[in-house]
Chain A
Amino acid sequence: MNSNSFLKPIFFSGILTFFSCLGENSWEDLESDYDHVLNVFGLVSLDSLQPSYVGLYSTTDLDEISRIFVGVDTLGWCDCDDDECGWDCENKEIDGYWILDSLFEPAALIKNASVIISDDNGNNYDFSYVENISLVDTIYFDTTVVIYGTTIEWDTTIFDTNNLRINLYIDSSGAFNPEPMTTYNLNINAPGYDPVTGSLTTPNFPSIDSLTQLGNHADTIIINEPFNLYWDLLQEGKAMVTGEVLLGNWWDDSLANDWCGGYFDPFVVDLSDNGLTPYTVYPWICSENLNQGAETRDYMIRLTAMDENYYDYFVVGESGEYSNALLNYPTTKGRSVGIQGGFGFFGSIASDRLLLKIAR
């Protein structure tokens, strides 16, 4: 045996393995063949800050378009003095440019359906399709200046109108004011699809009684210390407890990271369970130095009661039927909670909030 005896197999194995990798592993288009159904998100909200609405879509085929371009929206001006805009600025030698955001609409959106929510008393509330809502931002500037020793009080108010695409069915009449412990029914008829019906009983209003921290009744809160939460016992019902530091604009607020200690994992409590009250809440632990020099903020504890449908859909959830890391998307066999004739859910929530100042 000589070196040639070893080199030949290495050479041939390399050549053969290389050619063997040139297999026909092309991408193939997939097609579907199944009966489509309506895909519903129906929320009856007893929360004054959260309107009720219905989102209506259909299931789609694998060979169908799923997202349609409908226009652009202006996100903002990127200044070339800002490092993040550097690449385009260097190439085009410009001062800056507007950033546009492409707007898309789900291809499965159903816009021409009849959506009715009715109550036990025979009242029917038509929910109609709304593509956009207009929001008016009022921005107030205190531009008081001192000129030659004279103070000039000068305020400026700017009204900015934004169109926000919602693509939802809402009660445009304003007559729909859901009550606690009341049964509501959903009826949806869309051309070309089987009708969808649904039913729910709204939850009772939850009520936060008090909060204690370090053994004392708390008017302010130390956000990195555990606290006990008390609520008024109800005969039945589940509720989710969440908490957050109220920041003006969370995403843009440069101080957001300073407050990470204000959060904790949401958890569910039984509103009728004496054994769980008070419930001790342990906040997240942050590795950063917290709120050093940060302006003090409000802290909000929220207790959100859920009806059975909401609880089944969002809390119990779906046990994964099929998992494959190569799919890129989650999978479902299609869930129907609180509705019949389609996929999705019809559920209800009601909330109570507790606002506390963060202790310095």
Chain B
Amino acid sequence: MQYLFFFISSFLFSQSMTASINGFVRDDASGEPISYANVFLSNSSIGAATNSDGYFVLSGIPLGLYEVNATMIGYSVFKEEVDLSNEESLRLEIRLIEEAIKGTEVLVTAERQKFERSMESSQIALDLREINSAPAFVEPDVFRTLQMLPGVQTTSDFSSALYVRGSTPDQNLIMLDGIAIYNPYHLGGIFSTFNTDAIKEADFHAGGFPARYGGRMGAILNVINREGNTEKITGSANLSLISSKALIEGPIPKWSGIKGSWMISGRRTYIDKVVNALNLPSGSKNADGSDIPLEFPYYFYDYQIKTNIDFNQDHRLTFTRFYGDDVLDFSYEDPVETVSNETVNIQQESQFGLDWPWGNQTNGLTWRWIVSPKMIAKTFLSNSRYRFDFDLSFQSRDTYTYRDSTVINFTNFNWNIYDIIKDQTLESEVQYKYSNDHEITSGFQIKKIKFDLGIQYDLGTQDTSFTWNPLSLKNNTQEISFFLQDRWEVSERLKIRSGLRLTDYNLHKKIYLDPRIGVKYHISDDIALKANWGLYHQFLTTANNQDENLRLVELWLGIPKEKPASVSEHIIGGIEYMSPRNIFYRIELYQKKFENLLTLKQDNANQYEGASQDTTINEFWDTRGNSNGIELLVKKSSGKFNGWIGYTFSETKYFTEPSGWHNPNFDRTHTVNIVGNYELTSDLELSAALTQSSGNPYTKILGRVYDWEQNLFNNSYWYPIDSYLVGEKNTERYDDYFRVDIGMTRKGGNLFGLEYDTYWQIMNLTRHINILSYRYRTKTDPITGNQLGVQRQPIPMFPLILTFGVKFEF
């Protein structure tokens, strides 16, 4: 904590003949902080933008009388006279009143604030309106919207996972209010775990992120939830084809100067409830001949809680909790069969069960302390747990009842695959505006992660029982990190942010250094050049098959002791232009190099060296790679028509020993995304999204060849295995991907006094067949039985799908 004392003491002893203004900018109706609001003094060049907490500081103000202005698109302008003749520091609580946007009259927008303030390349902050603007599968999804941004790719429609600039999803740090989430998906990746109704903003860094973020090589996504309405209790409910969502928020009653807010949101799918309620026959019968009803065994749910308590104007405590689970719970019991003759009565019973929950749970406590107007300290204490627990069981029991005895034969079999991650993190950071030119941020993070990945078989019979653990990988890792970064405004045009992150990884007993630097140079008020360079180490990986088209879950592991930490180098350069009409243009070039990646070895046909090698989950190829690309973004955030156009040229190559250099299966060379949202009338909005991209790579089948297997039992013999002869890895590509989605939202409905919006979406409007994979078969002559040639059939992704929903607000 020495550095903290250093900052505090340097502040206390600093002398100043100037004053400062600090405070928060909030929405007057809800009390939600407003990010990127512009706060400035009239007839002065002094101004600042609010951060994601709505906080601002204007410092270095000569003593005198001033008019403080606060502006934000969609809100009326705030003006207030202040007297800084005697004050050294003034705290303002600014409330902005929402008003209708007056088209082109709005000159200052959040986009311009972001353009002027942001130092980082490749960063985009999406607000709720933008997240909702892209048509999504069934319901709005932040990940689906992010997939429409340049640099972000996906493997299929069925996955909302983010492949960013050559990085796989495990290389992304996904956070909810700053807490890491390890598997942020529902239903095998079709939906993300984040309920958009609760989201205030999503801050996404595709690369080149600053030193305060660590432990990942790819991208950063911090989803920030709403704080909750500080003025009154409000809520919303959303019914879609598959799920219901609800959100309620309100103020904490004020007591002795303590105030605050709370927000609770939840979501659950209800297909299981609908199917079960219909009482449809499953086709199986009970022992008494009655139908066994059909049960839909799957559902997912999640809920989020956020509470803020302001003890006074300087101290705030925030508690956040997220809990989400997918549950596949299925059991089947055979009707009891009884057979008997003169000597014995045999009763046979059996049952089968599958209990498969997987999901995330996080809890976080954040203490925000405004030490002084120029210094804010934040301390996080959080835990995050990911659990994947596949439990398949089978029981049978045969009872033989003789005249004078009873014999019971039973078998109990259990197959368990599990992956449990427990992450406990203590993190503290101090943001200190040392002078008008320097803003220093420093902090530390202690992260302890327990990984427990395993497979276990249990067999019990009347004679014996045994437990077999063919895979048991446990490691407890600890990362202790320290970072220091400085934002230096060298001149009005030149800004430099430099930083260093040091990480001690307990399994390696080594300090890893991650230096990072970013430079921004304003050629003019509207045009800026940006460049970023940095090293990024990662201390965990996933054990998933590299060729899989559908990734149900990610199996996480800490980087083993004997393997070096994965590292990536980012080099990014770009130019940004904010047009007078507030249309944002960006061109970026990037190069990423990867070293010490781990690629799971694919299935080995032969395993004789010992029982523990029955699985290959713990065997990896050492992998290196690189990714290069050019990205173009044109984004219009204000006005009746808004949206963006993104283009990405990308080439990613990985090297493994058996495959040489090859494109990974997520690599798409060219991608064009167009997202548009048009407010046709005050109560009718239309939206559309178009994606055209190169097809994903796959490995071509060339012909057929024999491999041989051995049988050394019962007179040795060797038999041929008809195999496909494959070409070089991933040198073929599926046909180009193309999809158009459209959506419509009608607002202003009223049902029994409740306001509601209805929305419709059509996905894949043109019914384009986008290929997920091929399946193959060998033709057989039905008369001779001769095996003829090989055929293939494409397996398509989404067909045309119409979805709709309704959202109530109260």
Contacts and interface: CB of A to CB of B under 8 A. Distances in A.
A41 interface: yes
B28 interface: no
Contact of B602 (A39, A287, A321): A321
Nearest to B468: A285
In this complex, the member of B464, B701, B758 whose beta carbon has the largest number of chain A beta carbons within 10 angstroms is B701
A127 to B, nearest CB: 16
B257 interface: no
A333 interface: yes
A69 B780 CA distance: 11
Contact of A321 (B709, B712, B726): B726
Given A26-B793, A324-B547, A331-B701, A65 B799 contact: no
Contacts of A315: 606, 608-609
Contacts of B776: 326-329
A169 to B, nearest CB: 14
Given A321-B659, A329-B724, A41 B777 contact: no
Interface in B767-800: 767, 769, 773-778, 784-796, 799-800
A208 B593 CA distance: 54
A314 B721 CA distance: 13
Contacts of B6: none
B137 to A, nearest CB: 13
Interface stretch (A30-38, A117-125, A172-180): A30-38
A27 B547 CA distance: 23
Nearest to A41: B708
B701 A67 contact: no
Given A50-B716, A68-B786, A285-B459, A24 B769 contact: yes
Given A102-B785, A315-B608, A322-B547, A13 B802 contact: yes
B253 interface: no
B664 to A, nearest CB: 13
B749 interface: yes
A13 B804 contact: yes
Contacts of B705: 39, 59-60, 332, 334, 343
Contacts of A322: 547, 602, 699, 726, 729
Contacts of A69: 784-786
Interface in A173-205: none
A242 B385 CA distance: 45
Interface residues of A, number: 85
A21 interface: yes
B707 A332 contact: yes
A26 to B, nearest CB: 7
Interface string B359-398: 0000000000000000000000000000000000000000
Contacts of A317: 604-607
A327 B724 contact: yes
Nearest to B407: A289
Contact of A60 (B703, B712, B721): B703
B621 to A, nearest CB: 8
A302 B722 contact: no
Interface stretch (A131-139, A151-159, A229-237, A263-271): A263-271
Interface in B648-700: 658-659, 698-699
Contacts of B803: 13
Contacts of B45: none
A326 B795 contact: yes
A20 B764 CA distance: 9
Contacts of B724: 327, 329-332
B712 A66 contact: no
A337 to B, nearest CB: 10
Interface string A220-262: 0000000000000000000010101000001000000000000
Contacts of B609: 267-268, 315
B726 A333 contact: yes
A354 B657 CA distance: 42
B799 A17 contact: yes
Interface in B406-420: 409, 411
Contacts of A244: 713-714
B769 A25 contact: yes
B791 A20 contact: no
B156 to A, nearest CB: 13
B712 A304 contact: yes
Nearest to B706: A39
A334 B762 CA distance: 46
Interface in A106-150: 106-108
A20 B801 contact: yes
B713 to A, nearest CB: 5
A73 to B, nearest CB: 13
B723 A332 contact: yes
Contacts, number: 243
A154 B758 CA distance: 95
A201 B751 CA distance: 87
B336 interface: no
In this complex, the member of B718, B725, B784 whose beta carbon has the largest number of chain A beta carbons within 10 angstroms is B725
Contacts of A314: 606, 708-710
Interface string B575-612: 00000000000000000000000000111111111110
In this complex, the member of B605, B714, B790 whose beta carbon has the largest number of chain A beta carbons within 10 angstroms is B790
B800 A19 contact: yes
Nearest to A1: B751
Contact of B703 (A32, A266, A327, A345): A32
Contact of A29 (B722, B725, B791, B799): B791
Contact of A240 (B411, B712, B760, B791): B712
Nearest to A266: B608
A318 interface: yes
B463 A289 contact: yes
Nearest to A32: B703
B679 to A, nearest CB: 22
A324 B665 CA distance: 12
A64 interface: yes
Contacts of B548: 323
A34 B703 contact: yes
Contacts of B749: 1
B605 A1 contact: no
B786 A267 contact: no
B762 A16 contact: yes
Given A21-B799, A333-B726, A334-B705, A287 B459 contact: yes
Contacts of A41: 706, 708, 718, 720
A352 to B, nearest CB: 13
Contacts of B611: 265
A99 to B, nearest CB: 15
Contacts of A107: 787
B789 A29 contact: yes
A338 interface: no
A35 to B, nearest CB: 10
Nearest to B717: A50
Contacts of B756: 1
B793 to A, nearest CB: 5
Interface string B452-484: 000000010101101000000000000000000
A75 interface: no
B786 A67 contact: yes
A25 B235 CA distance: 46
Given A66-B704, A332-B705, A23 B769 contact: yes
B715 interface: yes
Question: Which 9 pairs between the two chains have the least Cβ-Cβ distance?
Answer: A20-B800, A317-B606, A320-B602, A20-B799, A67-B787, A13-B802, A326-B775, A63-B789, A287-B461
10 contacts: A1-B751, A13-B801, A13-B803, A16-B762, A27-B793, A61-B703, A265-B611, A316-B606, A326-B774, A331-B725
Interface of B: 241, 409, 411, 459, 461, 463-464, 466, 545, 547-549, 601-611, 658-659, 698-699, 701-710, 712-716, 718, 720-727, 729, 749, 751, 756, 758, 760, 762, 764, 767, 769, 773-778, 784-796, 799-804, 806
Given A62-B701, A323-B602, 8 more contacts: A1-B756, A9-B760, A20-B767, A64-B704, A65-B787, A67-B787, A320-B601, A345-B708
